Structure 1
Amino acid sequence: MSLEEQIHQRVLGLDGVGTVYLADPVWLTAVKQLGTLIASGESKAPAPFVVCVEEESEGRSLLTVKVRIGTDGSVPAPAIARSVASEIRSLVGEAHPHKEVKAIVELAALGV
């Protein structure tokens, strides 16, 4: 299982998380799909739920992880965002202890 899939599954299991949405908004996903189709002539690429981007800068390795979630209303949204970010840092730290982690958690929907 890829790191993205592990993060997706772990985030879905957290208290207060109702769903994990595609990492990009629908309009951006559509634009990317169209670009892929035009550039390569192939069918659309799968749209990811979690996006991990690695960067090297000044001798440090940074992994940026982006996830968009919907809450179920059982836990305050700020607490869920902190919990998701902490879980991402923990999981990536276990798999890649030499990397710094930047977790971007977007709350796309708040449950009632």
Structure 2
Amino acid sequence: MSLEEQLRELVLGLDGVATVYSADPLWLTVVKQVGALLSAGEEAAEVPFVVCRVDGDGETPVMTVQIRIGTDGGVPAPALARGVAAAIREFVGRERPELEVVAAVEIAAIGV
């Protein structure tokens, strides 16, 4: 299982999280899908739910984790976003201790 899939499962298991949406906005996902279908011999592009990007300009490489979630309304959205970000940083810190981690958590829907 990839790191992205592990992070998606981790976040789905947190109290207050109802769903994990595509990391890209809907309009961008549609554009990517149409572009892939129009390309010769290409299949539809896979929709990423979690995007991990490593930038290594400094002494310590930084992994940015991008995720969009929907809440169940049981936990205030700002607190939930902070909790999800902390869980992501902790998990990636254990799996990839050589990296600094930045978690970009977007609340896409509240009380779904």
User: Is the TM-score greater than 0.5?
Assistant: yes
Cα distance in 1, alignment partners of residues 59 and 107 from structure 2: 32
**In structure 2, C-alpha distance between the alignment counterparts of 1:111 and 1:54, rounded to whole Å:** 32
How far apart in 1 are the matches of 2:72 and 2:102? Answer: 25
What is the root-mean-square deviation of aligned Cα atoms in Å? Answer: 1.4
Match of 1:98 in 2: 98
AA paired with 2:102?
A: K
2:17 corresponds to 1:20: no
Amino acid at match of 2:23: A
Aligned runs of 1:40-79 on 2, under 5 Å?
41-79=41-79
- Aligned-partner Cα distance in 2 for 1:58–1:90: 21
| Aligned-partner SS, 1:82 | helix
* Identical aligned residues as a percent: 59
Aligned match of 1:5? 5
State the Cα deviation string for residues 63-101 of structure 1 (Å, max 9, x = none): 110000000011111110001000100110011001011
AA paired with 2:95?
A
Q: Which runs of 5+ in 2 are unaligned?
A: none
In structure 1, runs of 5+ residues without a counterpart are none
Which residue does 1:85 correspond to in 2? 85
State the AA in 2 paired with 1:24. D
